Structure 1
């Protein structure tokens, strides 16, 4: 900010205020930018910060790279080394010294590689090679795990150690390929093709350890990206350190920050599986125990309802007794009813009983054939008749017939 002088007499400011304003001017004018130069007077502080000068034929500038960013360097800065730094311009207020605070450093000449990286990345991305919908999920329980890397790579030892710890039951198949140097990209792509042709594994780990941009360049080649995209087997990319990104990372189904992390992502965790099985066993044991308890309760209830033969006979006997009593009661009722009906009918028949009529002084007359004679018609003198009285009877003969008057 420019200093303002409201009156002819300029204000007096402190050195600290001057340096603060100078720092704000520098930081406001210059954003993050790349600066090329030669390293000089390089020093590594106990704190992990790097201090050095950056110079060319005409000038130099002091630089500071703090430990939080220096830990991501893949090379050790040395005097005389040509580098390119991404930095912000500032001023160290206590000394009033102008300096660069470095965020990133690379060896000189890598700018062309970065440019090639970005161009290829943009072109393949435009083709849809990195599209999220192309990414496939990794198998949860692979039959075998394939590894594409160099047999001499330290990353292979890390991957094998991780797999041996996490999933010793899963076979591991190595598809060897150089991971650095001329022709390495084509060899890596060929190894991926071989793994697909053999179809021996369910997931592929393409990996190598950390290194400079040049060291990792094989994984930035188009042939490798297309081989990964064309793979029928899901691919996990584990190239370099956490801050390293390659074209292979974007093409892979999953990008892991390190080879060890790639091995972990591709494999089931035996300890977790064992714990899951143990939990299932405990749950099954509890369920089985509850089932047995429920069955035992049902059995107890059934046992209480179950009778011995003597008890069953006794219950049947009681039931028969009850039936017999009901039958007797029914029979007596029916007998009384029939008796009442009989008495009523007998009383009705009594009125028709001829003996009762005879008792009132009447008699029954039968002819010799036993037929009852109800009139004198047809009788002749001397004809024998049989007369029945209320008590006894007599045999008579007709003396004279009378007719009704």
Structure 2
């Protein structure tokens, strides 16, 4: 492979850069000019951080390069690499700017030399995941107290001995049924699937263990079979897988209801320890004894209370008679007290009513006196009004113009009907209207005089 670098930016020639700017520019150049590629090498200095990121060195006989694989990518690998593993990594070249070290950012990883198998593993894993076979919602918890446990594995496998030893130590009371099948070879996957199907058909166990010891990816390939995976997913019996070591992952692990890191761990997850069951049984028995004692104590107390309340009919009748007599007295007293209160209140109201009753004689005298005073006041008012009326009549008669005219006076008015009071306002030839005590006359002014002032 030939990789060419084309740097067109002349920033290196123009500016004085800080170290950070230099590393940043080199990092951009590497990411822009080197595409993602596959690199083969040996794992060393592998570290899995608490964050889930992987940090390791990829090396060969002549060189080494640092690499990082972030958690989102590491979760899809399907195995955890160990120092000395030969792997192929698909990565992008980048620069870790704080130190100026170039490194690989890995996006995918597979074991070296088995790329085709690993690609097939990833394709099948993606297909089954898209169908929902890995969905946690469909997985079931193992039966806490199974009536029997089934084991699907080879009769000659060390995994079977580990499982039987763990079950004998942990739960010797639980019977174990082995469904033998080869765990490696050309027809191993088909026979494993047949044994899982047979166990479901016989329905004689509550938990099924699918186990084998560790090995290479070729050794474990039977557990990556699609038919076996679908058989495990369709199983009505809870399936616990325990294939290989803790870092080995197979398709059967993903579709099983529960994955154990080893066959022994699968046996331990299949049932509760006999000591725990005995402890729980003893604790339950003791709790039952305590509950029974408490129940008996409460029952004895109830009997004692009932006996204390038990009396003869004669005593009960006498008690009821005394109680009835007391109620009669209370009733009579309760009736008498309100009656006395009402009687006293009525007498008080009668006294208040008598005290507040009106005196009719005194009221009649007051009324007669008021009537007399009203008559006198009316007479005085009428006399005063009559006197005022007579005075007003005399004054009116004194101002009557008819009386003045009767004494020989007349009233002169001009053509507009206005009374003429000043001879200076007249002109010779002007027509006047004269009013007398009896009748009137139309005259014409011949001459005016102004020889007398009004008095």
Q: TM-score scaled to structure 1, two decimals?
A: 0.57
* d(CA) in 2 for partners of 1:282, 1:243: 44
In the alignment, structure 1 residue 53 sits paired with structure 2 residue 53: no
Whether the aligned pair in 1 keeps the contact of 2:80 and 2:248 (CA below 8 Å) is: no
* d(CA) in 2 for partners of 1:242, 1:108: 20
Name the structure 1 match of 2:199: 195
Name the structure 1 match of 2:118: 114
Write out aligned runs for 1:163-312 (5 A): 163-304=167-308
Q: Which 5+ residue runs of structure 1 have no aligned equivalent?
A: 323-405
* d(CA) in 2 for partners of 1:9, 1:87: 33
Q: Which 5+ residue runs of structure 2 have no aligned equivalent?
A: 1-6, 49-53, 322-455
Match among 144, 152, 155 for residue 148 of structure 2: 144
Q: TM-score scaled to structure 2, two decimals?
A: 0.52
Whether the aligned pair in 2 keeps the contact of 1:179 and 1:188 (CA below 8 Å) is: yes
Alpha-carbon spacing, 1:88–1:122, altered in 2? closer, same or farther (3 Å)? closer
Task: Kindly provide the CA deviation profile for residues 191-219 of structure 1, in whole angstroms up to 9, marking residues without a partner as x.
Answer: 32443454432221112234332222101
* d(CA) in 2 for partners of 1:24, 1:271: 63
Alpha-carbon spacing, 1:134–1:298, altered in 2? closer, same or farther (3 Å)? closer
* d(CA) in 1 for partners of 2:228, 2:154: 15
* d(CA) in 1 for partners of 2:129, 2:14: 63
* d(CA) in 2 for partners of 1:95, 1:168: 59
Task: Kindly provide the CA deviation profile for residues 127-172 of structure 1, in whole angstroms up to 9, marking residues without a partner as x.
Answer: 6666777655643422110111234444334433443344222111
> Is the helix fraction higher in 1 or 2?
2
In the alignment, structure 1 residue 22 sits paired with structure 2 residue 32: no
**RMSD across aligned positions (CA):** 4.6
Whether the aligned pair in 2 keeps the contact of 1:237 and 1:255 (CA below 8 Å) is: yes
Whether the aligned pair in 2 keeps the contact of 1:129 and 1:229 (CA below 8 Å) is: yes
Name the structure 2 match of 1:90: 94
Larger radius of gyration: 2
Match among 80, 97, 105 for residue 72 of structure 1: 80
Alpha-carbon spacing, 1:61–1:140, altered in 2? closer, same or farther (3 Å)? closer
Whether the aligned pair in 2 keeps the contact of 1:74 and 1:210 (CA below 8 Å) is: no
Structure 2 residue matching 1:205: 3-state secondary structure: strand
Task: Kindly provide the CA deviation profile for residues 345-383 of structure 1, in whole angstroms up to 9, marking residues without a partner as x.
Answer: xxxxxxxxxxxxxxxxxxxxxxxxxxxxxxxxxxxxxxx
Structure 2 residue matching 1:18: 3-state secondary structure: helix
* d(CA) in 1 for partners of 2:107, 2:129: 27
Whether the aligned pair in 2 keeps the contact of 1:34 and 1:84 (CA below 8 Å) is: no
In the alignment, structure 1 residue 13 sits paired with structure 2 residue 18: yes
* d(CA) in 2 for partners of 1:46, 1:230: 38
Structure 2 residue matching 1:281: 3-state secondary structure: helix
Alpha-carbon spacing, 1:76–1:38, altered in 2? closer, same or farther (3 Å)? closer
